[in-house]
Amino acid sequence: MAKRERRVGYGWPVLLAIGVHIAALMLTIIKWPESEPDPTSSSVVQATLVRAETATDQPQQTEDSAPPASQPEEEGAQEPEESAPAESSEEPAPDSDAEVTDSAVEEAKAEAQRLQEEAQRAAEQRAKAEKRRQAEAEAEKKRQAEAEAERKRQAEAEAKKKRQAEAAAEKKRQAEAEAEAERKRQAEAEAERKRQAEAEAEKKRQAEAERKRQQELAERAAQANNSSLDSMISDEEQSIANAKQANEAANGFKNLVRRYVEQSWNVPSNASSELRAIVRIQLLPTGELVSATITQSSGNSAFDHSVISAVEKAAPFREMRELDASVKGRFREFNLDFNPEDIR
Amino acid sequence: MNDSMSIPHLIMNASLIVQLVMLLLLAASIASWIIIFQRSIALRRAEKSYRDFEDRFWSGVDLNELYRDLPAEQESLGAEHVFRSGFREFNRLMPKTQSTDAVLEGVQRGQRVALSREEDRLQLHLTFLATVASASPYIGLFGTVWGIMGSFQSLSMAQQATLSTVAPWIAEALVATAMGLFAAIPAVIFYNRLSAHAGRLLGKYENFAEEFHAILHRNLQGRSEREAS
């Protein structure tokens, strides 16, 4: 035993260590039960129907009126019970004074008789009172029952009245609905008539258009013979127009750059309208700014500086990418002149 | 938590080096826990046996008898070992020399050797715990950095980098750090705890050695005075 205590083996520790790791792994693997997310409904307003109420509130009314009707009955039943314990009587204690003298004995006898009589009377009275009370209770009960019946009758009468009113309203509504339907039907019939008329007019118009088109076709076929020369001329014109367009695009790009720069230009407040700076802008084909330098200074270094920083702020000019290759070449490097009057 | 972000899934999907790092960390963690359990049990037993031995020593038993009762040298541990080596030295030197100082010196030396051996035995493998504690966060961090590097390399191929393309990679990489910390935290805590426990036990052994030495000294002093008179 002493030996076992001395050397601590590694068997148990290994098992314990592996157990610890498996437990840790389980903790990561086990999915804790999550609360299910609410099913997202497609409707914007999330509402659940609690009770489908009937169109008429009649059944509900009768339901509501039922509970109070049964309440007074219970109360009436409880009342006699409550009064019952109150009649516990205190017995008159007989006088136990025993005197040796006869008179005393007689007196005692008389006294006892009197007491007895009194007790009897009291008992009678009590019985009477009891009877009266019972009668009262019964009367009360009856009255309550009557009142109950009365109330019920009234409720029923009311319900009936309501039902009748309801029915009348219903009839009225139906009549109205019918009238409405009638009116609608008439309106529809009229609309139908109108539509037919329109369709006819449409047909007429189409026939006319068809005739015209055929005429035109015939005319064009006649012209087609002498148009081959014209087409050559028009080709020429088109190429000229293309060149013009490219030119315009180039000008447009320059204007665009100018507008961008002016948008981000903080003109110094002291700049007078006579100042004028020319900036040389170098761009990459992608529109990135390579450099912007002042080629002709305005003489006001703050003004020059503001122009340069405006150009830098406005860069890059992405529209450069959309230009034609031939036009792009022109804008790798170009000059822009700035004048505070341009934006004032 | 969707399925693709669960931890086992992340581990299985990680790149090879990250997986190797995780494996290394897992091995380190298991080894450190083995040492934690083994050392805790061993130290608790050593403390219990020390208490038993102390009770016996101070119960007024004859020291010669106690010496004979104790098991052989190789199997004795703790305070018993200290007592045995000191007493054996005392017994061997007594017939050979008359000098009290020489005897006491010999006893002290024997005890010192026994104490240092006990210290060695108590703190066995605790340095491994210290190594795991300090190194495994770095190993885990290495795995994370490697994983994030991989994620950025693959990100450069992607057309656009949205959060959903980056997130799984980074989560994968971070698992390595988490595992490093998982290995390191228990190792730190138990290294401190166990080394404090071992130090306390060693202090008890030393106190016992001093007390034993004092008893022997008293005996020898009495004998030499008797001889002188």
Q: Identify which has the larger pLDDT, B70 or B17.
A: B17
- Tell me whether the omega of the peptide bond preceding residue A13 falls within 30 degrees of 0, making it cis: no
Q: Specify the range with the lowest mean pLDDT, choosing from A167-176, A237-246, B123-132.
A: A237-246
Please tell me the number of Cα atoms within 13 Å of A310 on its side-chain side. Answer: 26
- Extract the tokens encoding A91: 């017995």
| Residue A234 banded pLDDT, cuts 50, 70, 90 | confident
Are the C-beta atoms of residues B111 and B82 closer than 8 Å to each other? yes
Q: Name the residue facing B29 among A2, A3, A21 (closest C-beta).
A: A21
List the end-to-end C-alpha distance of chain B, in Å, as a whole number: 92
Interface test with A, best of B12, B32, B34 (most A CBs within 10 A): B34
Across the range B126-130, mean pLDDT stands at: 92
Helices marked H in A225-320 — which ranges?
Answer: 228-263, 301-314
Half-sphere CA count of A263, side-chain side, radius 13 A: 9
Q: Chain A residue closest to B36 (CA)?
A: A13
The alpha-helical segments, DSSP class H, found in chain A are 2-6, 11-29, 58-83, 102-224, 228-263, 301-314, 325-330, 340-343
Q: Is the pLDDT of residue A90 over 50?
A: no
Per residue in A114-128, pLDDT (tens digit) is 888 888 888 888 888
**Higher-confidence residue: A279 or A38?**
A279
For the ranges A79-88, A153-162, B134-143, B166-175, the lowest mean pLDDT is seen at A79-88
Axis crossing angle, helix B100-122 with helix B78-93, rounded to the nearest 10: 160
A25-40 burial: b if 16+ Cβ within 10 Å, else e: eeeeeeeeeeeeeeee
Out of A5, A13, A17, name the one closest to residue B45 (CB).
Answer: A5
Provide the shortest C-alpha distance from residue A8 to chain B (in Å).
Answer: 6
Partner B contacted by A12 (CB < 8 A): yes
pLDDT confidence of residue A225 = 61
Q: How far apart are CA A106 and CA A127, in angstroms?
A: 31
Residue type, B145: V
B182 touches chain A (CB under 8 A): yes
Query: pLDDT, tens digit, for every residue of B165-187?
Result: 778 778 888 889 999 999 999 99
pLDDT at residue A13 above 60?
Answer: yes
DSSP states along B146-167: HHHHHHHHHHHHSSS--HHHHH
Q: Which of B7, B33, B71 sits opposite A28 (nearest CB)?
A: B7
Judged by a CB distance cut-off of 8 A, whether residue B122 touches chain A is: no
Share of chain A above pLDDT 90, in %: 3
**Residues of B in Cβ contact (< 8 Å) with A31:** 1
Residues in a beta bridge with A334: A281
CB B112: neighbour CB atoms within 10 A? Answer: 15
Query: What residue ranges do the domains of chain B occupy?
Result: 3-228
Distance CA B25, CA B139 (A): 8
Nearest to B9 by CA among B136, B178, B168, B167: B168
Q: Is the pLDDT at A84 greater than 70, yes or no? A: no
Cα–Cα distance between A303 and A339 in angstroms, integer?
10
| pLDDT over 50 at B93, yes or no | yes
Mean pLDDT of chain A: 75
Shortest CA distance to A16 belongs to which of B201, B225, B110, B39? B39
d(CA B97, CA A17): 55
CB atoms within 10 A of CB B83: 23
SS3 A200: helix
Do A8 and B42 count as a contact with CB atoms less than 8 A apart?
Answer: yes
pTM of the model: 0.45
CATH code, A244-343: 3.30.1150.10
Tens of pLDDT along A131-158?
Answer: 888 888 888 888 898 888 888 889 888 8
Answer whether A17 sits within 8 Å of B45, measured CB to CB: no
* pLDDT score, position B210: 92
| Two structure tokens written together for A326 | 């031939």
Nearest to B37 among A3, A16, A24 (CB): A16
Per-residue pLDDT tens digits for A246-299: 777 777 777 888 888 888 787 777 777 777 888 888 887 777 788 888 888 877
- Using the Cβ of B61 and the Cβ atoms of chain A, whether some distance falls under 8 Å is answered with no
The answer to whether residue A21 neighbours chain B at the CB level (below 8 Å) is yes
Residue B125: list chain A partners with CB under 8 A: none
Asked if B33's CB is within 8 angstroms of A17's CB, the reply is yes
pLDDT of residue B190: 94
**Contact residues for A189 (Cβ-Cβ < 8 A; gap 6+):** none
pLDDT value of residue A227 = 67
Are A29 and B6 in contact (CB < 8 Å)? yes
In what side-by-side order are the strands of the sheet with A289-296? A289-296, A277-283, A333-338
Pick the residue with more confidence: B135 or B15?
B135
Cβ of residue B128 closer than 8 Å to a chain A Cβ: no
Q: What is the pLDDT of chain B when averaged over all its residues?
A: 86
Residue appearing with tokens 């080596």: B85
Of A83 and A20, the one with more pLDDT:
A20
pLDDT at A60: 47
Pair type for strands A333-338 and A289-296: unpaired
Are A16 and B7 in contact (CB < 8 Å)? Answer: no
Residues of A in contact with B31 (CB under 8 A): 17
Nearest CB to B8: which of A13, A17, A29? Answer: A29
pLDDT for the residue numbered B205: 92
**Percentage of the residues of chain A whose pLDDT score is greater than 70:** 74
The 10s digit of each residue's pLDDT in B66-88 is: 888 777 656 677 888 888 888 88
User: Residue holding tokens 């006819």?
Assistant: A200
Q: Do B26 and A21 touch (CB under 8 A)?
A: yes
CB contact under 8 A, B49 and A5: yes
Answer yes or no: is pLDDT of A172 > 70: yes
How far, in Å, CA of A149 to CA of A264, rounded? Answer: 91
Domain ranges of chain A: 64-81+99-172, 244-343
Distance (Å, whole) CA B39 – CA B43? 6
Whether residues B37 and A17 touch (CB distance < 8 A) is answered with yes
Name every residue whose Cβ is closer than 8 Å to that of residue B57 and which is 6 or more positions away in sequence. Answer: B66, B79, B83, B208
Kindly determine whether residue A3 and residue B75, on different chains, have CB atoms separated by under 8 Å.
yes
- Asked if the C-beta of B132 comes within 8 angstroms of chain A's C-beta atoms, the answer is no
- Of B120, B146, B26, the C-alpha closest to A20 is B26
Let me know: does A292 contact A280? Beta carbons within 8 Å. yes
